Amino acid sequence: MASLPRSRIANPTGARPEARSRSLAVSLLLSLRPSQWTKNLIVFAGLIFGERLLVLEDAARAAGVFLAFCALSGAIYLVNDIVDQEQDRRHPSKRHRSVASGALTARVAAIAAALLATAALGWSFWISPRLGLVSLTYAGLLIAYSVALKHIVIVDVLTISVGFVLRAVAGAVAVEVPISTWLLVCTILLALFLALSKRRHELVLLADGAADHRPILGEYSPYLLDQMIGIVTSSTVMSYILYVTASDTALRFGSTGLGLTIPLPLYGIFRYLYLVHHKGGGTPSELLLADRPLLICVALWALSVVFIVYR
């Protein structure tokens, strides 16, 4: 009788050795992408610029929204991993993800995603019905992205950007402050900048195999993405400068001091471009946490804004 290959006997589940060494809890946690939760900090924008940071109840509401979106985004990451598991297995880094590596079955991932999404949406509706609707819209949009929208050129990066805007809107709705047009414009432009830069990193990393892993990457080229990034970078910087130097902004906060923060976003954007072009790039959250100058820049900007707005 023919014997089974040694690799199949040693690894009957099909999981990679490093995947089998993880516990189920660790595999699940890694699939929720904790390093990506920094993206949800945008929910605090409405609290800070709406001058409600020192109101304990509103600060607690914003913290609740942050937790809800961490859970909701984690659920969406699980859905994305289930949908993309075959492609991820051919990716140099994504093949280590829990579902792709076999450490987490698609069934367990689906159950966890459903429980997390239900809890996050329930919590959002409990905080505020309007917040619940925004959260539900965010979940629907990002699931549509995982299933279909990420395969449509340009629509893919726009969808990611709208997801950031919905996070910002959720934070403003939760503390019941007006949603500034400037907040929406600056958020979507910055998100577009990050999304396009990430696409460029993926395209360069995968080189000739990019389209095989993700067909939509075949619709882009480094030159096209550089053109788009150039336009979005200029628009982002100009929008921020116009906002912080506007007379309405000075009147609202009783100070023209926000204009003094302009060098920090400039440095942050240029530093990010430097990392993308000369240091191999990466996801925005990975670069933020790994690059000390960029992290210091963002922290200084946040502290400067809080000081100027609340002094």
CA-CA distance, 287 to 230, in Å (whole number)? Answer: 20
In this predicted structure, what is the pLDDT of residue 205?
76
What pLDDT, in 10s, does the model give residues 70-112?
Answer: 999 999 999 988 988 888 787 777 788 888 888 888 899 999 9
Give 284 or 198, the one with higher predicted confidence: 198
In this predicted structure, what is the pLDDT of residue 204?
81
pLDDT classification of 296: cutoffs 50, 70, 90: very high
Helix 155-174, helix 56-83: angle, nearest 10: 150
Residue 174 has pLDDT above 90, yes or no: yes
Tokens of 78: 């699980």
Q: Does the structural domain 23-177 have CATH classification 1.10.357.140?
A: yes
In this predicted structure, what is the pLDDT of residue 13?
43
In this predicted structure, what is the pLDDT of residue 132?
95
Share of the chain above pLDDT 70, in %: 90
How confident is the model over 289-311, as a mean pLDDT? 91
Name the residue type at position 73. Answer: S
- Rounded to the nearest integer, the mean pLDDT of the chain is 86
The DSSP line for the chain is -PPPPHHHHH-TT---HHHHTS-HHHHHHHHT-GGGGGGGGGGGHHHHHTT-TT-HHHHHHHHHHHHHHHHHHHHHHHHHHHHTHHHHTTSTTGGGSHHHHTSS-HHHHHHHHHHHHHHHHHHHHHH-HHHHHHHHHHHHHHHHHHHTGGGSTTHHHHHHHHHHHHHHHHHHHHTT----HHHHHHHHHHHHHHHHHHHHHHHHHHGGGHHHH-GGGGG--HHHHHHHHHHHHHHHHHHHHHHHH-HHHHHHHT-SGGGGGTHHHHHHHHHHHHHHHHS----HHHHHHH-HHHHHHHHHHHHHHHHHHH-
In this predicted structure, what is the pLDDT of residue 22?
65
Domain boundary assignment for the chain? 23-177, 180-311
Residue 4 has pLDDT above 50, yes or no: no
Q: Would residue 51 be called left, alpha or beta, if left means φ above 0 and alpha means ψ between -120 and 50 degrees?
A: left
How confident is the model over 257-263, as a mean pLDDT? 94
Residue 31 has pLDDT above 90, yes or no: no
What pLDDT, in 10s, does the model give residues 177-235?
Answer: 988 888 899 999 999 999 998 888 888 877 766 666 777 888 888 899 999 999 999 99
Residue 1 has pLDDT above 90, yes or no: no
Residue 57 has pLDDT above 90, yes or no: yes
In this predicted structure, what is the pLDDT of residue 157?
93
Q: What is the pTM of this model?
A: 0.85
How confident is the model over 21-46, as a mean pLDDT? 86
CA-CA distance, 150 to 113, in Å (whole number)? Answer: 19
In this predicted structure, what is the pLDDT of residue 20?
52
What pLDDT, in 10s, does the model give residues 107-160?
Answer: 999 999 999 999 999 999 999 999 999 999 999 999 999 889 988 999 999 999
Q: Is the sign of the CA dihedral 182, 184, 189, 190 positive or negative?
A: positive
